[in-house]
Amino acid sequence: MADPLTDAEARFGALQSYQVTLRSTHGAGVQEVIRYFYRKPGWVRMEFEQPHRGAMLVYAPDTRRVRLWPFGLGHWPALDLAPDHPLLHNPHGHRVDRSDVGVLLGNMLALRQRGSMLPPDAAAWAGQPATALDITGPPGGGADTVQRYRVWLASDTLFPLRMDSFAANAGLLESVDMGDAQIDVRFPEHFFTP
């Protein structure tokens, strides 16, 4: 495996869907637990466990709109929002329409292109064999800008199992555990159009 990051992006390009429980911690200690579902060409469904337990949203790439049920599917109100609506951003401004693993891998490749990557390291995460990568951008990033990524890719699928991002001051911006990912899941017909 000469270039695991490029290979990981190619593997993402070949998959059709995935589901994962995102367990993230932001630098300020804010924790999120979200059941995340993705199907190409960009359908996203998020079911929130922490914070906002019971909230659910669906992003439809054909309409470029987000349907949000703040109190759970079937409960009033149901909001129809643009993906850049402030109500939908997490503490780092991530957007639902740019939240999939392909976007993350693309960001890592772009940072590596401007900076550097240490040689891959054999590791393990969540009991799975993994390849650990450390990617650092050029000096001069802002306080909220990712300056460095540390990522663990599953050895068999090259799907990210964990990702840590750091600011220029080396402070942790976000840590995300994706150790329970399932690839090429067959979702029910109306799963993304409830």
State the SS3 of 62-116: CCCEEEEECCCCCCCCCEEECCCCHHHCCCCCCCHHHCCHHHHHHHHHHHHHHCE
10-residue averages of pLDDT along the chain (194 residues): 89 97 87 96 96 94 95 89 86 83 95 92 90 91 79 96 92 93 95 90
SS3 label, residue 5: helix
User: At residue 62, what is the residue type?
Assistant: D
DSSP state of 52: S
- How many C-beta atoms surround the C-beta of residue 33 within 10 A? 15
Predicted confidence at residue 145, as pLDDT, reads: 83
- pTM, 2 dp: 0.92
Residue 16: both structure tokens together: 């059709």
User: What pLDDT does residue 186 have?
Assistant: 97
User: How crowded is the C-beta side of 59, counted as CA atoms within 13 Å?
Assistant: 23
CA 163 to CA 171: how far, in whole Å?
14
What are the structural domains, with CATH classification, of the chain?
A: 4-183 (2.50.20.10)
